[in-house]
Amino acid sequence: MEFIDLKAQQEQILPNGRKLKEVISDNIQNVLDHGRYILGPEVEELELILKNFTGAKYCIATASGTDALLIALMALNISNGDEVITTPFSFISTSEVIELLGAKPVFVDIDPNTYNINPNKIEEVISTKTKAILPVSLYGQPANFIEINLLAKKYNLPVIEDAAQSFGSTHNGKFSCTLSTIGTTSFFPSKPFGCYGDGGACFTNNNDLAAKIRKISRHGQEERYIHSDLGINGRIDTLQAAILLAKFPLFKQEIISRQNSAEIYNKKLKKIGINSIPTISQLNTSVYAQYTIQVDNRKEIQSHLKKLGIPTAVHYPTILPDQPALGGPQVHCKFTEATRASKRVLSLPMHPYLSQDNQEFIVNSISKII
């Protein structure tokens, strides 16, 4: 059994009656034929499709989700000495990009139900140095942007959504990536919408920011060899764009399929007495980038499942403020919810092609150890 089965997807039949695998091959061959490996026509086509899908005014495809975050912060002029409010419970990228720009991540504990930043605790850390708020929409559901945006408006702060795990989900009827000043996502292979390498995108409705993001992702280039700003090499590869274009027609159905699998897990797990199933806010839909529960004896359960051939994962065993690269374990008692979650969360296999039989087997196997 795979934790995320990427091969099963290749066998799927697209709405046009063709196998995904074949369309991917054709799309790759097309790129080899036209030879425009950097910013070929597939990149523009992808940006158009993603823009229309989310309803964002602008989409700029990037080399990765991390680059999308970095570029977003650069476009907002985040630099030395600035503070960016963010969550302690995420993948390293979220804080890494803040530190890389010489700014400081200021962490706010999570809501233990959704695992996303707790909006009620943001105001107390806003200072004169605060330049942005960077919430993550973890495991596939958006953070509480209604609340976060109210605060941001009060203090005139831009908000960046790290939507690496939530592309395709919704909050209050709007798509993730369009919920704040800038939304960023990732097309890392195991994300809900993944390519076969690295890729990502920035979304915004702001004209000036869109132009800035585009420029920064291309070495700050105004016209050929005229660089009016410092930028990075942050473009998506044409080949990755071509692969995403092939996969896109499956995406909506895949979201539904993930949601169905989540419902099945919910029911089966409740039956065996596990109540720590994912809590999805009434305002949200989730794309279940992860299906994550909480358990007391995580190590034991993981090794028991591993012996039976069931892969599991922990997202994330260490909170960001405790990462050596970000300062290391500090004496703090401020992130109790994130710390507690980091010790208890367990992600089960989740992908659009997970069979009910496998789910049955996974839950039965868990029931035998708890």
Ligand X SMILES: *Cc1c(COP(=O)(O)O)cnc(C)c1O
Closer by beta carbon to ligand X, 83 or else 161: 161
Closer by beta carbon to ligand X, 67 or else 82: 67
In the bound complex, what is the minimum distance in angstroms from residue 71's beta carbon to ligand X?
12
In the bound complex, what is the minimum distance in angstroms from residue 139's beta carbon to ligand X?
9
In the bound complex, what is the minimum distance in angstroms from residue 199's beta carbon to ligand X?
7
| Contact (CB, 8 A) for 190 and 203 | no
Closer by beta carbon to ligand X, 18 or else 189: 189
In the bound complex, what is the minimum distance in angstroms from residue 94's beta carbon to ligand X?
5
**In angstroms, rounded to a whole number, what is the distance separating the alpha carbons of residues 87 and 90?**
7
Q: In the complex, which residue's CB is closest to ligand X?
A: 65
In the bound complex, what is the minimum distance in angstroms from residue 177's beta carbon to ligand X?
13
Closer by beta carbon to ligand X, 165 or else 347: 165
Before 139, cis peptide (omega within 30)?
Answer: no
Closer by beta carbon to ligand X, 95 or else 294: 95
In the bound complex, what is the minimum distance in angstroms from residue 90's beta carbon to ligand X?
5
Closer by beta carbon to ligand X, 91 or else 291: 91
Which residues would be at the binding site for ligand X (CB under 6 A)?
64-66, 90-91, 93-94, 136, 162, 164-165, 186, 188, 198, 200
